């Protein structure tokens, strides 16, 4: 077993990276003084993994949209019962989630850590699917999809991704559609499981109040070395151009809601993780609360306090987004694009850069302070190919104005941008007369 200690002096923190003989990478960060332990067992499979093959297969297979999320729901069942019932005996609070590029099973607990860890390890290594249980889940996930159909935030974001991307599966809803999940059966679930849930394609990260010995002993006991499967993804042939600059939908909302997105020049996961840091700072400089443009939009009543920004980045996709409510989203979009063009021409104000970098530094420090976010950071940096989770903080510290100006030219172009608008139902009806 290969162990490596990774430390940060600035944060007075360290964690251990263990290469377990089973093929699994285990990341352990005990945190003094905390009561909770937070564990994340993650597989590198998300909603974008729709077309893939292994080294043993000749042809790529395309699976129905939403299968990674469906698999996540079904992993909670096994021949000897439901994982929630097993966690119930330990008191842990357990859950799971599926994102664009990963699926994670998690629990947090203050007592009985070892028992909960055993449940977690058994859960991800014991698939059990039958036609009957698959059909039952179609009803439950069908309602989850319905719930998101009514969520204007969610719809605004996916309409934006559909507008920005032509081929990349990031444009598909994570849970799929009622139609796509109807095509899922037990055999397909097993195929996905055996491809993606091999321990070489997974990581276990634990942070907070726990004894690393418990994790390693259980890993020796439960995790069996498997064949190292090489997964090949079909890289989407995504052009730089967007599908459309405007996406619209009507839903019962009070005032129009919007998401504005800039489609970045996406690279691999590691490049995109670094770019995410830069894009976040750029979003603040362009139209964050400390910017003159934010003030102008706010004071003219074009945006309100719901206005916010975020960056979405992973394998082959990178989007910098602004979202909120506005009576005139078109004008907000126009003004933001004008400001982007202005900054692209003039370069970034060095003072704004220093200020926003300092703010980002403070924000990033916050991520190393809770067991939940530390475990999340360990998974994120590992899957992105970053050796050390503290490199992310170092990246913020070492940023230069040149890096930022370069990113602005590379990843923020109004030509490759779009706005997604959710109109209030009544207003639209009236307008249609």
Partner 1 sequence: MNQKLNREQLAEGVFFSSVRDDKFRHNSISVNFIVPLEEETASCTAVIPFLLRRGSKSCPDFTRLEQALCNLYGAALSSDVTRSGEYQILSSSITFVDDQYTLNEEKISGQCAKLLGDMVLEPNITDGAFPQEDFQLERQNLIDTIEAEINEKRTYAINQCMALMNEGTPLAISKYGTVEQARKLTSQMAASRYAQIVDTARVEIMFVGCGDPTLAKEQFRQLWQKQQRHPRLYTPSPAVERASQVKEGKKEMEIAQSKMVLGFRTGSIQGRQERTAMKLMSALYGGTPFSRLFIHVREKLSLCYYCAARFDAATGIMMVDIGLEKDNKEQAKDEILRQLSLVSQGDFDGEELENTKLAYINSLKSVGDSLAAIESWYLMQILWYEQPASPEEDVEAVRAITREQVIKAAGQVTLDTVYFLTSKEDSHE
Q: Which of residues 240-269 bind partner 1 (CB under 8 A)?
A: 251-255, 257
Q: Which pair of structure tokens corresponds to residue 33?
A: 């003084």
User: Of residues 277-296, which lie at the interface with partner 1 (CB under 8 A)?
Assistant: 284, 288-292, 294-295
Tokens encoding 152:
């204007």
Site for partner 1 in 80-139 (CB under 8 A): 82, 84-85, 87-94, 108-112, 136, 139
Asked if 381 interacts with partner 1 (CB under 8 A), we say no
Q: How far is the CB of 156 from partner 1 (least distance, A)?
A: 11
CB of 257 to partner 1, least distance (A): 7
CA-based diameter of the chain, in Å? 71
398 forms part of the interface with partner 1 (CB under 8 A)? no
Instruction: Establish if 4 lies at the interface with partner 1 (CB under 8 A).
Output: no
| CA nearest neighbour of 257 among 421, 134, 384, 103 | 421
- 197 is written with which tokens? 């849930």
Q: Judged by CB, which is closer to partner 1: 34, or 97?
A: 34
The span from the CA of 122 to the CA of 109, in Å, is: 17
Stretch that binds partner 1, among 146-154, 196-204, 221-229, 241-249 (CB under 8 A): 146-154
| CA distances in angstroms from 71 to 56, 76, 349, 364, listed in the order given | 22, 9, 48, 32
The 10 Å Cβ neighbour count of residue 320 is 27
CB of 164 to partner 1, least distance (A): 23
- In the complex, least distance from residue 287 CB atom to partner 1, rounded to whole angstroms: 12
82 vs 221 by CB, closer to partner 1: 82
Q: Tell me if residue 72 is catalytic.
A: yes
Instruction: State the nearest-atom distance from the C-beta of 27 to partner 1, in Å.
Output: 19
> Does residue 32 touch partner 1 according to CB under 8 A?
yes
For residue 77, the minimal CB distance to partner 1 (Å) is: 10
Provide the edge-to-edge strand list for the sheet that holds 231-233: 61-62, 51-54, 231-233
Residue 363 near partner 1 by CB under 8 A: yes
| Site size with partner 1, rule: CB under 8 A | 75
Identity of the residue, 25 or 371, whose beta carbon is nearer to partner 1 in the bound complex: 371
What stretches of 315-360 adopt beta strand conformation (E)?
A: 317-325
Question: Please, which residues bridge with residue 310 across strands?
Answer: 321
With CB under 8 A as the contact rule, which of the stretches 19-27, 234-242, 303-311, 378-386 interacts with partner 1?
303-311
Collapse the DSSP code of 398 into the 3-class scheme (helix H, G, I; strand E, B; otherwise coil) and give the result.
helix
Q: What is the 3-state secondary structure (H, E, C) of 147-204?
A: HHHCCHHHHHHHHHHHHHCCCCHHHCCCCCCHHHHHCCCHHHHHHHHHHHCCHHHEEE
Q: Give the residue among 219, 188, 155 at the shortest CA–CA distance from 71.
A: 188
Q: In the bound complex, what is the minimum distance in angstroms from residue 169's beta carbon to partner 1?
A: 23
Cβ proximity to partner 1, 233 vs 361, nearer residue:
361
**Residue 421 binds partner 1 (CB under 8 A):** no
Binding mask 310-349 for partner 1 (x = CB under 8 A): ---------------x------------------------
428 binds partner 1 (CB under 8 A): no
- Complex with partner 1: residue 165 or 309, whichever CB lies closer: 309
- Residues 405, 344: Cα–Cα separation, whole Å: 8
Alpha-carbon separation of residue 260 from 99, 149, 321, 404 (angstroms): 21, 20, 5, 20
Do residues 184 and 6 make contact, with C-beta atoms less than 8 angstroms apart? no
Report the distance separating Cα 358 and Cα 63, nearest Å.
44
Q: What 3-state class would DSSP assign to 111?
A: coil
Distances (CA, A) of 384 to 83, 171, 421: 29, 21, 32
Q: Which is nearer to partner 1, 24 or 94 (CB)?
A: 94
Considering the rule CB under 8 A, would residue 152 count as an interface residue with partner 1?
yes
The active-site residue out of 19, 32, 57, 72 is: 72
Which CB sits closer to partner 1, 267 or 424? 424
Active site residues: 72
């Amino acid at each position: 077993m290969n162990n490596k200690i990774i430390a940060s002096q600035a944060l007075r923190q360290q964690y251990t990276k263990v290469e377990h003989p089973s093929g699994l990478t285990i990341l352990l960060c005990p945190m003094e003084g905390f009561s909770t332990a937070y564990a994340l067992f993650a597989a590198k499979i998300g909603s974008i993994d729709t077309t893939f093959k292994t080294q043993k297969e000749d042809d790529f297979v395309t699976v129905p949209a939403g299968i990674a999320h469906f698999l996540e729901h079904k992993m909670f069942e096994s021949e000897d019962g439901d994982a929630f019932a097993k966690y119930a005996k330990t008191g842990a609070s357990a859950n799971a989630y599926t994102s664009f590029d990963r699926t994670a099973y998690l629990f947090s607990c203050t007592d009985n850590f070892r028992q909960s860890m055993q449940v977690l390890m058994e859960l991800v290594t014991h698939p059990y699917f039958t036609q009957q249980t698959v059909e039952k889940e179609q009803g439950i996930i069908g309602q989850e999809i319905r719930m998101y159909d009514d969520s204007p935030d969610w719809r605004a974001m996916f309409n934006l991704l559909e507008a920005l991307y032509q081929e990349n599966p990031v444009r598909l809803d994570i849970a799929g559609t009622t139609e796509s999940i109807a095509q899922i059966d037990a055999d397909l679930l097993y195929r996905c499981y055996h491809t993606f849930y091999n321990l070489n394609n997974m990581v276990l990260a634990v942070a907070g109040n726990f004894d690393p010995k418990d994790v390693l002993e259980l890993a020796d006991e439960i995790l069996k070395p498997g064949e190292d499967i090489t997964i090949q993804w079909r890289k989407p042939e995504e052009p730089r151009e967007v599908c459309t600059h405007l996406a619209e939908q009507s839903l019962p909302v009070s005032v129009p809601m919007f998401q504005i997105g800039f489609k970045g020049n996406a690279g691999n996961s590691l490049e995109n993780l670094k770019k995410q840091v830069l894009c976040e700072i750029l979003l603040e400089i362009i139209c964050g609360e400390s910017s003159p443009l934010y003030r102008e939009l706010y004071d003219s009543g074009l945006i309100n306090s719901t206005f916010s920004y975020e960056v979405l980045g992973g394998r082959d996709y990178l989007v910098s987004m602004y979202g909120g409510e506005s009576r005139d989203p078109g004008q907000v979009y126009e003004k933001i694009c004008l400001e982007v063009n202005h900054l692209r021409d003039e370069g970034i104000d060095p003072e704004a850069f220093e200020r926003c970098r300092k703010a980002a530094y403070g924000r990033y420090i916050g991520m190393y302070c809770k067991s939940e976010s530390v475990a999340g950071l360990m998974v994120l940096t590992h899957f992105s190919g970053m050796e050390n989770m503290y490199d992310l903080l170092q990246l913020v510290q070492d940023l230069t104005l040149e890096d930022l100006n370069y990113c602005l030219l590379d990843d923020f172009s109004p030509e490759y941008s779009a706005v997604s608008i959710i109109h209030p139902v009544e207003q639209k009806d009236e307008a249609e007369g």
